[in-house]
Amino acid sequence: MEPVDTDVTGPDEHDGDAPFAGQAGNEPDGAPTLGDLLLAVEELWPESLAEGWDEVGLVAGHPAAPVTKVMFAVDPTLEVIEEAVEWGAELLITHHPLLLKGVTSVAATTPKGRAVHRLIESGTALLTVHTNGDSAVGGVSDVLADALGLQDVAPLTLAANGLPEEGIGRVGDLEDAMTLGDFAARVFGILPSVAGGVRVSGDKDGLVRRIAVCGGAGDSLFNEVRASNADVYVTADLRHHPASEAREAALNGRPYLVDVSHFASEWLWLPAAAAALGNVLADQGHDVEIQVSATNSDPWDFILTPG
């Protein structure tokens, strides 16, 4: 697959090409351990914010091992793991879990078993920050809302164990109303370029201002989106029936729907997460090199459209 084109991802501080090196000048107390990294990650994306069905936290790795390089990625695919190993990362942090369902074997005869073997044999730890990373302040949907220029942002659903600012999805307002067509172009412009592009349901000339977003698959949140009075809902993986029924239930045509790539919607979080972790570690005097994976793990490669 082609590497992610990080030139289309918007603001310079979100440039995935640049490593977010820890700041020089702090007391050199040697490389932090994986255990130190786990504490820093817990500060940013507490495991208590994860959904009950989710599996987050350390998947592989020894807490006493030193860490000098950390890579962030959306998916723990073999290609991503290979990239992390080749770069020399001792820790790979992915959004999606490698092992979400129970397994009875990690033999290297299956893709997941091969991933586990490659990680352990290369001394690369794997850590999952999934729905805790969705829910947290500065999480996946927060970053998406910020990139779209939304203001007065609030969660679509409150986290069970969190603050009022924490929870799944976000809703907020554009500074000025714009047409759905122009808004869709804005969505397209902030996301990494992937084969599936952006699909829209609604009146291209309809004016929109209040925007709901949910990075990743968000078709379970239509009731919350309607309750938020959003003009548009931006999410990924919208299937026919939930989307069709949501359009049937729409009032005055709203909410319009903008369906984006699952991978792209969550990739946006990676540079922000890398910067946030770099800041926490630098504050603690740790000098760790942090980089975002350049692998495009969106499963779709090309698309045919009429005309």
Q: Summarize as ranges the residues that interact with Zn ion (CB under 5 A).
A: 216, 266
CB of 131 to Zn ion, least distance (A): 9
Q: How far apart are alpha carbons 233 and 259 in whole angstroms?
A: 8
CB of 72 to Zn ion, least distance (A): 14
Q: How far apart are CA 191 and CA 77, in angstroms?
A: 21
Residue 180 or 191 with smaller CB distance to Zn ion: 191
Amino acid at 256: Y
Alpha-carbon dihedral 136, 138, 140, 145, rounded to 10 degrees: 120
Nearer to Zn ion, 130 or 210 (CB): 130
C-beta of 56: minimal distance to Zn ion in Å?
A: 12
Residue 257: CA count within 13 A, CB half-sphere: 23
User: CB-wise, 268 or 290, nearer to Zn ion?
Assistant: 268
CA atoms within a 13 Å half-sphere pointing along the CA-CB vector of 141: 32
The per-residue b/e assignment along 126-149, b for 16 or more CB within 10 angstroms, e otherwise, is bbbbbbbbbbbebbbbbbbbbbbe
By beta-carbon proximity to Zn ion, the closer residue of 125 and 140 is: 140
Is the Cβ of residue 167 or residue 216 nearer to Zn ion in the bound state?
216
Least Cβ distance, residue 284 to Zn ion (angstroms): 29
Contact between 266 and 296 (Cβ < 8 Å):
no
In the complex, the smallest distance separating the C-beta of residue 95 from Zn ion, rounded to whole angstroms, is 6
Strand partners, 211: 172, 232
Q: Which is nearer to Zn ion, 74 or 200 (CB)?
A: 74
Q: What is the smallest separation between the CB atom of 21 and Zn ion, expressed in angstroms? A: 28
Cβ-contact 94, 126 below 8 angstroms? yes
Using CB atoms, what's the residue nearest to Zn ion? 216
